[in-house]
Structures are given as C-alpha cells and as structure tokens.
C-alpha cells in the first residue's frame, strides 16, 4: 500500500487553482433552521477529499459531510444538540474548549454512558464564552476523529470586531491509500510510540484546497481549527502579516505570531487571525506549512481579484471583548506538578543527553513498554481503558498552578476539560500575550506553568491531544470538588 504523494497532490492543487476562474471558497456546512436545537447524526458516508482523478473516500461523519455542520450561535445562547449514533460502535460527543457542566462533557464512562449503536443522547448547555470551538467524539477518538467525525462550533460575540469576511478553516491530515481510501492501520504501535498518526494528505474543510479568492484591502477573520490526530502546523502566510487575536477561543493581546512569523497550531488548538490583504490586484500569496524539519508544504493560494476593495487596510479595532473567566489568584494558589515521560525514543534520548532528576525516565515506563502498549506516562502512570481514579484532586473555587514538565523527545498538545487556563510561563519565562488556552503545545523538554480557578465541579479529562498518545496512556482525570 503506497500513500498518495503529497507533491503530486499539491501540484494538482496548484494547477486547479490557476485554472479556476472565480476560485471557490472553502466548503462550509451550515445549519440554518433559526433555532439552537440541532440534530447531529454520526454515520458512515463517502466524501470527495481529493480532486479527480482520485475517487471518493469512505469516511465517518456528522450530518453527511466532513467536517460536520458548522454550529454557529451567539454568546449566552443555550444549545441543545441531539446526537444520533447511526454507526455500529459506541460513541460520545465532546465540545472541545466549551466550559460545560460535567454531565455534558461527553467522556464515555466518566461523564456519561456511551451512546450505543442506534442510540441517542441530548447535550444541552449554555455558551458562556464566545470564540472558536469544535466538537468530536471522545470514544476511540484516534479512529473516530481520524475517519472524519468532527465539526466547528462558533460562538459569536455580541459585538464582534468588524471584518469583511469571517471564515473557518478546519485543518485535517489524512493517511490515504493509492485509491484515496483511508489506510485502516489505526492505533498501530509505531504511531502510538512516536509522533502519532501523521498522514499524507492535508485538507481544509474536508477538501484538498483550491485557491481562495481575496481582494486588496479586504479584512478577513480566519478561524483556524486543527482537527488532525497528530499533525502540528506552522503556517506561513508569505507576504501577509497575520494578527493573532484569540487562542483556543479566548482573546489574547493582539500580536503578530512569534517564531519567524509562523502560526503554530497543535492538534485540537484554535487560532483566530485577522488577515489584512495588503497585496495588489492580480497577485497571489501562498500559505504553506513549515513545522516539520525540511518541510515546506504548499497548503493553499490566496489570489487577489482584479478589483481592489479599498486602498488601505481598514482602521477598525481588532480587539475582542473579554470572556467571563475567573482570574487566578497567584499568591494564594495551590501548586501541583505533572511530569510526562515515555515514548519510543525516550530512553535513547535520555541516555544521550545524560539527563537526571526530573527528566529521568521512571522505571515504570520501561517496564510498561516491554509489557505491552503502555507507552506514555503522566506522573509515572499510563492510563488504561476507562480511567476513573483521579490523578489530582483540586479544591473547588481555589486557584491552582500546575507546573508541567515534558521529559520526552516529542511535542504534546496538553488539554484540560471543563476549564480554560492562563499559560503563565514557558521554561521560566513569563508569557506576554495574556494567553488563556484549553490546549497548550509543549515542546520537547519544555516546562510550562498554567493557572486557573477550579470553578467547574466534576471529574475532568486531562490528556495529550495527539490521539495515539492518548490511546497509549497519556491521559488522566483531574477531580474538582
Ligand atoms: Cu478534544 Cu479530551 O478532547
Ligand atoms: Cu502526546
């Protein structure tokens, strides 16, 4: 089984793009019955992910499309979603980043009984925060999400910053065969023990993208959502200078991306950008991904129409109104430590670097790796199956600081359910944009401190969002009581 070559795909994309007259906008599903009650049906289907001459792909999806329908509501609205499971295995839906009551969080065996084949479950909660969120199953997610079960959940601000267009790009990464079918090797040991299931075909909103038509002077709010199992993106917008206005749905001090102007986005993370189209009519800008060493992957072209929209970028404010997040009290916060260890290269790297102390691999890790599929460890424990025992118990309504250490050779997007947290520091350096996140990308060997008020009672998942790592033990439960 030989994967489709990415270069072949991007060349085709490029040709298709230059040929397209008024190049199409990325596909976007919509729900427009006016109410905030939705039915989401999870079922097998087929979709055109890649252009001709490849065929369609067997997928699993919500509402007949990948991504599933974009749910768009107003901040403060109550949302009522009936999920129908038309597949032959159990499922649940998790509302990633939404601060919902514990019983609505969609974690099988922890917050609810899984939805059986043919079964239904109604999720109902208020949208407390405005921002860019997404939904996906939390049952065997490495395969259910990997085959296409996900969608965007956009909560609009009462007074959003003015833009000409508000676009959502859900990024995904598929491992396709020569016949454009999904390679069925989900949860393999190689993927679990290394960087996760990386694919060979990147899609935006479920399609290998064609060019996006833009106009000089136009202002776009671009909501990026990374729905890939494992792929991290570092997006380069060429001559454009994006302004980051929100991370994981939560407003930040508007700033240009650091790190050679690339927008870094790990699995499950969201980045809202303001893009001012500063190019001239007829020009073209290429958006590319440069995360992995030696990689410069052409993602999509932005092509300027002949008619400018305006001569100068608009002077409108890019400030987002803040969300009602409780500010942690750092002087009186309780402190906790979490160390991540494991991975196939863990021992090797450890030995080469002669690391001791905190970064030392625990005896458990090696044992676990030899005995079976326990590959990743959170404070020395690899979670198996349905974990219920909390690894940390946090006093409710108190402020807590969690100092996290990545003692491995891999990147992790670490996600906490039910709360958003302030990212205070990285390797001892204070952060500078007032970042509130629900998923924070940790570089190899990085130490990150997060802080939050534990104001949402219940048992909450805390895990790596490289879904193969999660399946390989990299998860735990944090109890707020
Ligand atoms: Cu996006 Cu525990 O989930
Ligand atoms: Cu991980």
Residue 351 vs residues 120, 152, 341, 346, 414: alpha-carbon distances, Å: 51, 43, 14, 9, 25
Query: Region 64-79: what's the mean pLDDT?
Result: 95
Q: Which of 304, 322, 347 is the last residue of a domain?
A: 304
Q: Which atom of ligand 1 has the smallest separation from the CA of 463?
A: 2
- Tell me, yes or no, whether 322 lies in a domain: no
Note the pLDDT tens digit of each residue in 88-134. 999 999 999 999 999 999 999 999 999 999 999 999 999 999 999 99
Same domain, residue pair 146 and 218: yes
For residue 435, the model assigns a pLDDT of 96
Q: Where is mean pLDDT largest: 11-15, 65-69, 76-80? A: 65-69
- 192 Cα: distance to centroid of ligand 2 (angstroms): 9
Same domain, residue pair 195 and 60: yes
For residue 332, what are its two tokens?
């009186």
pTM of the model: 0.89
Same domain, residue pair 174 and 290: yes
Q: Which ligand is nearest to the CA of 376?
A: 2
- Distance, in Å, from the CA atom of 442 to the CA atom of 268, rounded to the nearest integer, reads 13
For residue 163, the model assigns a pLDDT of 98
- Distance, in Å, from the CA atom of 51 to the CA atom of 60, rounded to the nearest integer, reads 19
Same domain, residue pair 243 and 300: yes
- Containing domain of residue 417, as a range? 334-480
For residue 373, the model assigns a pLDDT of 61
Same domain, residue pair 295 and 338: no
Q: Which ligand is nearest to the CA of 196?
A: 2
Nearest to 382 by CA among 280, 473, 476, 284: 473
For residue 344, the model assigns a pLDDT of 64
Q: Are 404 and 412 contacting, i.e. CB atoms less than 8 angstroms apart?
A: no
Question: What pLDDT band is residue 39 in, cutting at 50, 70 and 90?
Answer: very high
Same domain, residue pair 32 and 169: yes
Q: Which of 283, 304, 325 is the last residue of a domain?
A: 304
Q: Whose CA is nearest to atom 1 of ligand 1?
A: 96
Any idea what the CATH number is for the domain that residue 158 is in?
A: 2.60.40.420
Q: Which ligand is nearest to the CA of 413?
A: 2
Q: Which atom of ligand 1 has the smallest separation from the CA of 136?
A: 1
For residue 95, the model assigns a pLDDT of 98
Question: What pLDDT band is residue 369 in, cutting at 50, 70 and 90?
Answer: very low
Q: Whose CA is nearest to atom 3 of ligand 1?
A: 96
Residues with CB under 6 A from ligand 1: 94, 96, 136, 138, 268, 415, 417, 461, 463, 465
- 201 Cα: distance to centroid of ligand 1 (angstroms): 23
- 347 Cα: distance to centroid of ligand 2 (angstroms): 16
pLDDT at 1 over 60: no
Same domain, residue pair 254 and 381: no
- Tell me, yes or no, whether 320 lies in a domain: no
Note the pLDDT tens digit of each residue in 343-353. 765 443 443 33
Same domain, residue pair 412 and 292: no
- Distance, in Å, from the CA atom of 379 to the CA atom of 404, rounded to the nearest integer, reads 10
pLDDT at 156 over 80: yes
The number of domains in the chain is: 2
- Distance, in Å, from the CA atom of 413 to the CA atom of 450, rounded to the nearest integer, reads 13
- Tell me, yes or no, whether 327 lies in a domain: no
For residue 130, the model assigns a pLDDT of 98
For residue 460, the model assigns a pLDDT of 98
Query: Region 226-239: what's the mean pLDDT?
Result: 96
- 465 Cα: distance to centroid of ligand 1 (angstroms): 6
- Tell me, yes or no, whether 135 lies in a domain: yes
Q: Which atom of ligand 1 has the smallest separation from the CA of 268?
A: 1
Q: Are strands 71-74 and 94-96 parallel, antiparallel or unpaired?
A: unpaired
- Tell me, yes or no, whether 108 lies in a domain: yes
- Tell me, yes or no, whether 313 lies in a domain: no
Q: Which atom of ligand 1 has the smallest separation from the CA of 134?
A: 1
Q: Which ligand is nearest to the CA of 474?
A: 2
Same domain, residue pair 217 and 351: no
Residue 191 vs residues 195, 383, 434: alpha-carbon distances, Å: 6, 17, 34
- 458 Cα: distance to centroid of ligand 2 (angstroms): 24
- Distance, in Å, from the CA atom of 219 to the CA atom of 166, rounded to the nearest integer, reads 9
Q: Residue 108: CB partners within 8 Å, gap ≥ 6?
A: 90, 92, 114, 138, 139, 386
The verdict on ipTM greater than 0.85 is: yes
Question: What pLDDT band is residue 381 in, cutting at 50, 70 and 90?
Answer: confident
- Tell me, yes or no, whether 11 lies in a domain: yes
- 297 Cα: distance to centroid of ligand 1 (angstroms): 27
pLDDT at 418 over 70: yes
Q: Which of 304, 326, 356 is the last residue of a domain?
A: 304
- Over the chain, what is the mean pLDDT? 88
Query: Which of 371-375, 408-412, 455-459 bottoms out in mean pLDDT, i.e. has the lowest?
Result: 371-375
pLDDT at 446 over 70: yes
Q: Are 369 and 433 contacting, i.e. CB atoms less than 8 angstroms apart?
A: no
- 341 Cα: distance to centroid of ligand 2 (angstroms): 10
- 200 Cα: distance to centroid of ligand 1 (angstroms): 23
Q: Are 388 and 459 contacting, i.e. CB atoms less than 8 angstroms apart?
A: yes
For residue 237, what are its two tokens?
């917008």
Same domain, residue pair 279 and 133: yes
Q: Whose CA is nearest to atom 2 of ligand 1?
A: 461
Same domain, residue pair 251 and 347: no
pLDDT at 448 over 80: yes
Q: Are 107 and 145 contacting, i.e. CB atoms less than 8 angstroms apart?
A: no
Nearest to 242 by CA among 210, 203, 211, 272: 272
Same domain, residue pair 378 and 437: yes
pLDDT at 400 over 50: yes
Whose tokens are 């990026």? That residue is 224
Query: Region 357-368: what's the mean pLDDT?
Result: 42
pLDDT at 296 over 60: yes
Count of other CB atoms within 10 angstroms of residue 76: 12
Q: Using only the alpha carbons of the chain, give its radius of gyration.
A: 22
Nearest to 467 by CA among 141, 183, 152, 4: 141
- 331 Cα: distance to centroid of ligand 1 (angstroms): 30
- Tell me, yes or no, whether 463 lies in a domain: yes
Q: Which ligand is nearest to the CA of 141?
A: 1
pLDDT at 461 over 50: yes
For residue 293, the model assigns a pLDDT of 73
């Amino acid at each position: 089984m030989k994967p489709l070559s990415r270069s072949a795909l991007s060349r085709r994309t490029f040709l298709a793009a230059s040929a397209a007259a008024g190049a199409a906008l990325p596909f976007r599903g919509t729900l427009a019955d006016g109410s905030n009650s939705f039915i989401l049906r999870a079922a097998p289907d087929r979709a055109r992910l890649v252009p001709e001459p490849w065929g369609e792909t067997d997928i699993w999806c919500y509402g007949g499309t990948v991504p599933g329908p974009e749910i768009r509501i107003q901040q403060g609205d109550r949302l009522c979603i009936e999920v129908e499971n038309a597949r032959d295995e159990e499922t649940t839906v998790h509302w990633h980043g939404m601060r919902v009551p514990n019983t609505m969080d969609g974690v099988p065996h922890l917050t609810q009984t899984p939805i059986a084949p043919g079964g239904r479950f109604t999720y109902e909660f208020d949208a407390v925060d405005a921002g860019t969120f997404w939904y996906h199953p939390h049952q065997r997610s490495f395969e259910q999400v990997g085959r296409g079960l996900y969608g965007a959940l956009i909560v609009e601000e009462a007074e959003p910053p003015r833009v000409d267009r508000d676009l959502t790009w859900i990024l995904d990464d598929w491992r396709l065969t020569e016949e454009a079918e999904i390679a069925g090797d989900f949860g393999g040991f190689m993927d679990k023990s290394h960087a996760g299931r990386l694919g060979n075909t990147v899609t935006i909103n479920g399609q290998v993208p064609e060019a996006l038509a833009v106009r000089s002077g136009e202002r776009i709010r671009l909501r990026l959502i990374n729905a890939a199992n494992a792929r991290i993106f570092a997006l380069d917008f060429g001559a454009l200078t994006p302004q980051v206005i929100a991370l994981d749905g939560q407003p930040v001090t508007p700033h240009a991306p650091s790190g050679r102007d690339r927008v870094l986005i790990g699995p499950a993370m969201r980045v809202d950008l303001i893009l001012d189209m500063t190019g001239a009519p007829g020009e073209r800008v290429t958006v590319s991904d440069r995360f992995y060493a030696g990689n410069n992957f052409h993602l999509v072209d932005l092509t300027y129409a002949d008619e400018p929209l305006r001569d100068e970028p608009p002077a409108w404010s890019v400030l987002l109104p803040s969300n009602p997040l409780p500010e942690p009290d750092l002087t009186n916060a309780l402190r906790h430590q979490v160390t991540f260890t494991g991975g196939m290269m863990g021992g090797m790297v450890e030995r080469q670097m002669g690391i001791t102390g905190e970064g030392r691999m625990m005896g458990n890790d090696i044992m676990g790796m030899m005995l079976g599929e326990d590959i990743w460890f959170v404070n020395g424990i690899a979670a198996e199956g349905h974990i219920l025992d909390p690894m940390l118990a946090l006093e409710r309504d108190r402020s807590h600081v969690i100092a996290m250490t990545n003692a491995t050779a891999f990147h992790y997007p670490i996600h906490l359910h039910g709360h958003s947290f302030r990212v205070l520091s990285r390797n001892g350096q204070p952060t500078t944009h007032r970042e509130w996140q629900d998923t924070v990308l940790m570089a190899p060997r990085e130490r990150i401190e997060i802080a939050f008020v534990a104001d949402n009672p219940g048992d909450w998942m805390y895990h790596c969002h490289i879904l193969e790592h999660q399946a390989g033990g990299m998860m735990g439960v944090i109890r707020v009581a």
